[in-house]
Amino acid sequence: MKKTILTILVVGAVLTFLAGNLFPFFMGNHACDAYNNCDPETGLRAGASMGQLIAQGGGFFLTSNSEILKFLNRVEMSGIDGTDYNELREIMGLAVSNMENAAAIYRDIIAIARETPYDPGVIAKLKDFDYEGYAEKHMLNGEIWAKVKKYLSVGDVTGAYIQIESDMHGILKQLYGVRETVNSNRFPEISQLWRVVQSYNVSLLFGSYMSEVFMNL
């Protein structure tokens, strides 16, 4: 159990460190540049207000991820310090609430995106982007990159945001299962924790790859 938990902690911590230090460029940031419409009340392009929402949603996502790493740390140390289920419940509650907030914000992002026209110049660049060459040069995860390409290569930026929100709801479903187990004063199965961490990491990579494309147009 300890070796498997430790492996999860190391991998998760590395990705969280990267996400924390490159935060403005994760979870689809800069993709809002694909939208070109002015809000008559604020004078801001719709893409600009979406960018602020993406930053907020990404912040909640990363905070949820950090709570999961804290949860794993407590599970890892339970053999030495004993198990405090009250603390585990509190940590899991924060992981859930932050992910719920992230998903709610992305729902708002999608609503704005659906009512906002694309910038045709940016969409043309997305369609002309060398997805294969970029992935080969930077040795990207092929499966996740293929999902990003599926949306961006045809200019479906809103579809990519919908994918991110869907992933968040998938993570929430997993978190609810772990929370239910902890609320019963039981440790979750190690396989549950593997899948939770995998889901966070996949979502982070999807968002960061999406941002990479826009940063390199």
| Of residues 9 and 60, more confidently modeled | 60
pLDDT tens digits along 67-83: 999 999 998 888 777 78
pLDDT at residue 6 tops 60: no
Q: How far apart are CA 111 and CA 161, in angstroms?
A: 10
Q: How many CB atoms lie within 10 A of CB 56?
A: 16
Helix (H) / strand (E) element for 216: namely none
Contact 116, 174 (CB under 8 A): no
> Distance (Å, rounded) from C-alpha 72 to C-alpha 2?
10
Instruction: Give the residue, 205 or 37, on which the prediction is more confident.
Output: 205
Q: What is the CA radius of gyration of the chain?
A: 19
b/e 137-161 (16+ beta carbons within 10 angstroms → b):
eeebeeebbebbbebbeebbbbebb
Say if residues 183 and 155 touch (Cβ distance below 8 Å). no
Q: How confident is the model at residue 29 (pLDDT cuts 50, 70, 90)?
A: low
